Amino acid sequence: MERRTLLTGVAAGAAAAALPGWRAALAAEKPVRFGLVTKALGIGFFDAVHKGADEAAEQLGQVKVIFTGPTTTTAEGQIEIINELTAQHVDAMAVSANDPDALVPACKKAIQRGIKVISYDSAVGPGGRIVHLAPSSDALIGQTCAQLVADCAPGAKGKFAVLSATPTSTNQNAWIAQMKKVLPNYPNLTLVGIVYGNDLADQSYRETQALLKEHPDLAVIMAPTSVGIVAGAKAVEDAGLSGKVIVTGLGLPSELIGHVENGTVKEFAIWNPIDLGYTTCEIAVRLARGAPGGPNTTIDAGRMGKIAFDAQGVGVMGKPTIFDKSNIEKYAKIF
């Protein structure tokens, strides 16, 4: 699936003239073909990422966004997509990895052919990308997830389980590890298990059913995945346990507003995926147009300001926002 925001000739010049300072100069430079690789097609979070990338592409000018990904959340599917983009000789590529290590050889091959490869959301291993854009820091997300569980469990005590994406998902595993680090701050919370729905709605639904059966006294289900939190909420509702077992985690306001209103989801968190897509496109295009990038560099990201990358080449956007009945209606209209 492709979305084009390609400006040429007079239109490109007019767009450049309308932009201030360095952005006018940037828009006047060479056209860029940018491959934006999702974990899998059909996931609302990444559709919002795509929207943000299109916004950046329109502002930058002469940028073609190729939004693509496998049909399921597998490394094999992403490798095929990466190889296809490499064969097409795109100028830049951004990947949200289903597996941090398995993608490295394909991404490295792309880099060797002059393609500026970065990762976003879920990191590719350092050997397969120039920089990685994290939507937030692993520590901040882990702390937020632990706080959400404590807020949702009556009296901040009881049993909870985690419904994650894939066992090899870079970001999911890092967030869960950071959450575990801060659990001693909540001595009355007990983690009874971690299950994986592979970011598939039906599998996540079945895993939730199994959790409810295995742990009848479960207080909270934490799903740090936009697919899992919706499927988990639906399974709890279908079991007649809405309000008794609280579902929380990371998700989209537009997909969760009904579950918040009926009390299945008390609160949840997410960063703005539109901003994530916008920033990812900005960084990839600037690299393709000659900006220096890598560890210990800073790259301008348009309206998102400057993103500083540390010694490992990782840059962070910011802290997740918590959504509940007080603010979800406003944001559900946006993403």
Query: Would you list the domain boundaries of the chain?
Result: 3-135+272-318, 138-270
The band of 9, judged by pLDDT with boundaries at 50, 70 and 90, is: very low
Please check the confidence at residue 174 and state whether its pLDDT lies above 60: yes
The band of 14, judged by pLDDT with boundaries at 50, 70 and 90, is: very low
Whose CA is closest to 194, among 223, 233, 154, 156? 223
Looking at every residue in the chain, the average pLDDT score rounds to 92
Buried b or exposed e, range 262-293, using 16+ CB within 10 angstroms: eebbbbbbbbbbbbbbbbbbbbbbbbbbeeeb
Q: Which residue bears the tokens 């939730």?
A: 208
The token pair at 1 is 């699936």
Please check the confidence at residue 147 and state whether its pLDDT lies above 60: yes
3-135+272-318 shares its CATH topology with 138-270: yes
Please answer whether residues 160 and 35 qualify as being in contact, where contact means their C-beta atoms are separated by less than 8 angstroms: no
Please check the confidence at residue 311 and state whether its pLDDT lies above 50: yes
Whose CA is closest to 40, among 83, 80, 92? 80
Please check the confidence at residue 84 and state whether its pLDDT lies above 70: yes
The band of 22, judged by pLDDT with boundaries at 50, 70 and 90, is: very low
Which amino acid is residue 314, in one-letter code?
V
Distance separating alpha carbons of residues 22 and 5, to the nearest angstrom: 20
Q: What is the mean pLDDT of residues 180-209?
A: 97
Question: What pLDDT score was predicted for residue 5?
Answer: 31
Cβ neighbors of 6 (< 8 A, separation 6 or more) are 31, 62, 63, 64
Stretch among 23-32, 150-159, 229-238, 298-307 having the lowest mean pLDDT: 23-32
In words, the CATH class of domain 3-135+272-318 is alpha beta
Whose CA is closest to 267, among 214, 202, 328, 206? 328
Question: What pLDDT score was predicted for residue 130?
Answer: 98
Whose CA is closest to 22, among 282, 294, 302? 302
Phi, psi of 167 (to 5 degrees): -65, -20
Question: What pLDDT score was predicted for residue 36?
Answer: 98
Question: What pLDDT score was predicted for residue 27?
Answer: 46
Percentage of the chain surpassing pLDDT 90? Answer: 90
Question: What pLDDT score was predicted for residue 4?
Answer: 30
Question: Taken in order 16, 18, 22, 23, is the CA torsion positive or negative?
Answer: negative
Please check the confidence at residue 205 and state whether its pLDDT lies above 80: yes
- Domain 138-270 CATH superfamily: Response regulator (3.40.50.2300)
pLDDT digits (tens, 9 = 90+) for 103-133: 999 999 999 999 999 999 999 999 999 999 9
Distance separating alpha carbons of residues 248 and 268, to the nearest angstrom: 5
Residue length, the chain? 335
Please answer whether residues 254 and 332 qualify as being in contact, where contact means their C-beta atoms are separated by less than 8 angstroms: yes
Question: What pLDDT score was predicted for residue 2?
Answer: 35
Neighbour tally for 13: CB within 10 Å: 15
β-sheet bridge partners, residue 78: none
pLDDT digits (tens, 9 = 90+) for 243-298: 999 999 999 999 999 999 999 999 999 999 999 999 999 999 999 999 999 999 99
The secondary structure element, H or E, covering residue 300 is strand 298-300
Question: What pLDDT score was predicted for residue 30?
Answer: 83
Distance separating alpha carbons of residues 187 and 196, to the nearest angstrom: 25
The token pair at 103 is 């993608």
